[in-house]
Amino acid sequence: MRVRDPLVQISAGLWMMARTWGCNVYIVGEGRPSFIDAGFPLDTRSIGRMLRSRDPAGPEYLVATHYHLDHMGSMSRLKKQFSCHVVAHQDDADIMEGTAPYPTFKLDPLRAFYYKVLGPLYPYECVKVDRRLTDGDVIDLMGGLTVVHTPGHTAGSMMLFQPDRRMLFTSDTIRNEDGVLDGPPPQYTPDMESAFESIEEKVMALDFDILLPGHGDVILSGAREAVGRMLQERKVAR
């Protein structure tokens, strides 16, 4: 499913905000909405605008699938603007709160230059995590979203699984950019082996049909088989 409009309804009570500076932002709930990831700090404005036209009370929960700035960068401002609860996996929460250092990445020269020049303009925006999650916890959204801890991209990377609707929010651990289903971006993934182990052992054990990635296009059917093919192709290529 290729999304071109800024806010697209995916199914009952689920929308996706695709034109952001950061990641895909998922909005859940018919009444006061909640967010699964919320983009860069730069995205706060368009999110705020959209929220004011929809529900002036703002979001109820902001769920961060991991600590990277393109997923939680707008959360501190949204939390100040509206009264909402931030939830994240316990292994990423200290970095999000600024009590543990933000890890550095080994980048190619072009990206390193880009970060050196533009990095100071977009500093990491820490936010208080109101609820620290662990594997198997259930978030009271969409009739129950189960936390699937999938470390590797970050220590506290998590997916969210809705078993009745067979939906899986995969964050950066499975992306679907430019029609290519893939694991997490290698440059920003310190432990690729663990990430793929998580996919093989935990993701493939789930009964899901719909895949909602952190970047790229949503897959509306046959997602588990597509992930199986991706794993197979990776094995052949190695």
Tell me how crowded residue 15 is: count the other CB atoms within 10 A of its CB. Answer: 18
Would you say the C-alpha torsion 166, 171, 173, 175 has a positive or negative sign? positive
Q: Determine the interface stretch with Zn ion among 74-82, 136-144, 200-208, 212-220 (rule: CB under 5 A).
A: 212-220
Question: CB-wise, 23 or 75, nearer to Zn ion?
Answer: 23
Question: Where is 115: in which H helix or E strand?
Answer: helix 109-118
Q: Determine the interface stretch with Zn ion among 39-47, 57-65, 117-125, 172-180 (rule: CB under 5 A).
A: 172-180
How wide is the angle at C-alpha 174 spanned by C-alphas 140 and 209, nearest 5°?
A: 60
Residue 172 interacts with Zn ion (CB under 5 A)? yes
Residue 89 interacts with Zn ion (CB under 5 A)? no
Minimum distance from residue 150 beta carbon to Zn ion (Å): 12
Residue 23 interacts with Zn ion (CB under 5 A)? yes
Site for Zn ion in 152-171 (CB under 5 A): none
Residue 68 interacts with Zn ion (CB under 5 A)? yes
Q: Which amino acid is at 141?
A: L
Q: Three-class SS of residue 229?
A: helix
Question: Where is 54: in which H helix or E strand?
Answer: helix 44-54
Q: Write the DSSP symbol of residue 121.
A: G
Residue 70 interacts with Zn ion (CB under 5 A)? yes
Residue 175 interacts with Zn ion (CB under 5 A)? no
Binding site for Zn ion (CB under 5 A): 23, 68, 70, 172, 214
